[in-house]
Amino acid sequence: MKPDEQLVPGGKRAALYYRVSTSDQSTAQQERDLRRFARARGFTIYNEYRDTAFSGAAKSRPASDRLMEDARKRRFDVVLVWRFDRFARSTTHLLSALNGFRHLPIDFISYNENMDASSPMGEAMFTIVTAIAKLERDIIRERVAAGVRQAMKERRSCCRREIKETDPAICRQIRELRQQGFGMAAIGKCVELSSRTVWRFLCGAEASLHIQ
């Protein structure tokens, strides 16, 4: 179907987006549902954008990219999608797109979820999606922070074990050699320890981990 082809006279210009993940799948069902919906709402179909054999996780999809470019040029007034996951790869991606559409302004309708962003219910769902996206970001941030804390804890524990297992005389020798300007590799050769063990010991010493 070519741009600007009208199924019904007048009405808002609609962009219809379809996607399937593999080449052996078909967008036929999505096309039937969205075209019928467009007719029922009195929309003029500006264009249909179709991504075939593109995973929902793909960061770049040719038809989706064209749709967003046409949206920025205000070539249509409403975007119709069959389902959220046909259009967006994540809640964050969906929220970003919805925010962009709202500022243009362009309406967004998801057929299966029965969401019309221009309606009061759609506004409520947009608020919920925003909250979910924020929750996802907070969870990811906390997981990263917890991972960093655990890594630091394991590093300190490893350093303490190596210090305790090292002979006090060798520890003194390491300090003395370091004060004389020797590097980690040279000190390691002298005391028959790996340069990494020497480095960890010195890190612990600088952090006031004392050997009795």
- Annotated catalytic residues are 21
Distance (Å, whole) CA 200 – CA 159: 6
Q: What angle do CA 140, 143, 145 make, to 5 degrees?
A: 110
Distance (Å, whole) CA 4 – CA 82: 21
Distance (Å, whole) CA 67 – CA 46: 11
Count of CA atoms in the C-beta half-sphere (13 A) of 23: 0
Unique residue bearing structure tokens 């467009």: 38
Distance (Å, whole) CA 6 – CA 13: 9
| CB 98, CB 108: distance < 8 Å | yes
Distance (Å, whole) CA 124 – CA 111: 17
Distance (Å, whole) CA 140 – CA 114: 29
